[in-house]
Amino acid sequence: MVATLKDVAELAGVSVKTVSNVVNGYEFVREDNRRKVEAALEQTGYRPNIGARNLRRGRTGFLGLVVPDLGIPYFGELAGLVITAAQTNGWNVLIEQTQGQRERELESIATLGPHMVDGAIVSPEALVADDLATLPDGFPVVLLGEQTAGFALDRVAIDNVAAARAATRHLIDLGRTRIAFIGDNPRRATAALRLQGYREELKAARLTAPDDRVAGAESFHRHDGMLAMRALLDGPADDRPDAVFCCNDLLAVGALHEAVRSGLRVPEDIAIIGFDGSDESRYSLPPLSTIAPDKTAIAAGAVRLISERGSRLDGAGFEVVEPPFVLQARQSTTGAQES
């Protein structure tokens, strides 16, 4: 039999209103009554009806999260952190996966409207600012990614250009001069920003970035990294790259696999660095150096913005949160034992 507020009140010897106040976290309850109610809640196993509570408060109790590809560890890890951050605010999370396709991004945002969720966190690959013109007034949306700079919405994004420059500078500081790039894709704005940072840092170091050292990637998975590295190594031995900066860790894992399969030593013959700070980067052989965005700060910042935007009535003051990143140097570039 499912316990009710009345059952708890009778066991605790208090009113139903007092039980409701304790369950809903109201402060002004006598401490002796609070203890009696908490003991009765434990004894009866009472569980509040979250759906009914949210309905009374005008909330759905859900947030939407729209990401390109949960098969990419960065987005899978980020989704878990968003769920954790949302739960501390009383929300569950509904997740949509778009594969970076504009039509699916639009469809996901339309599906996760105010009738289903209290707000949406969206990591777009193909949307443009005009696509969001039809969002319902007052519906909180937070965008993830620096490529959304032209959108008049709250946004959480690391500085991709600066991060790419840091990765490239790391390779230069190790004495590498023939540095390649894997992950060029005109449909991915994030890739363009990282390519920009790579080129800027090479130019600052007076090193060249010929087109044949910039390899494309149809998607950002291991197989694409393997194919890109194969293409980069298909040339005169004395002109092969001595280092590669990959747009994400999965590309770097694929590139590492192909380099080793081709008989190269990593990092002695070729150094490899990725991007995302995924768990996978720690367990490759050798462990991958990587640029690690603070994913916890990204998730917490996005949920905070949703919460604050939902409580604002004027709709003004869009906020941009720029979480930090760190360069994690490991054996794939330094050859040293990971600390």
DSSP conformation class of 103: H
Q: Could you tell me the sign of the dihedral formed by the alpha carbons of 26, 31, 37, 41, in that order?
A: positive
* Position 152 confidence tier, pLDDT thresholds 50, 70, 90: confident
DSSP conformation class of 239: G
3-class SS at 246?
A: strand
The pLDDT > 90 percentage for the chain reads: 60
At residue 311, the pLDDT reads: 58
At residue 313, the pLDDT reads: 46
DSSP conformation class of 178: S
* Position 27 confidence tier, pLDDT thresholds 50, 70, 90: low
Mean pLDDT of 170-199: 94
3-class SS at 65?
A: strand
> Quick one: residue 92, left, alpha or beta (phi over 0 = left, psi -120 to 50 = alpha)?
beta
Whole-number Å distance between alpha carbons of 211 and 256: 21
Mean pLDDT of 26-52: 78
pLDDT reading at 272 higher than 90: yes
pLDDT one-digit tens code per residue, 291-333: 999 999 999 999 999 998 865 544 556 889 999 999 999 999 9
Q: How many CB atoms lie within 10 A of CB 130?
A: 9
Domains of the chain: 5-48 (1.10.260.40), 62-158+295-325 (3.40.50.2300), 160-293 (3.40.50.2300)
Q: How many CB atoms lie within 10 A of CB 160?
A: 25
Whole-number Å distance between alpha carbons of 92 and 54: 12
Beta strand 120-122 with 271-275 is unpaired
DSSP per residue, 108-151: HHHHTSTTT-S-EEE--SS--GGGGTTSPTT--EEEESGGGTTS
Mean pLDDT of 271-277: 97
**Which residue, among 115, 117, 147, 116, has the nearest Cα to 129 in the 3D structure?**
147
* Position 230 confidence tier, pLDDT thresholds 50, 70, 90: very high
- pTM score of the predicted model: 0.79
**Which residue, among 88, 75, 3, has the nearest Cα to 37 in the 3D structure?**
3
pLDDT one-digit tens code per residue, 119-146: 999 999 888 888 877 677 778 999 998 7
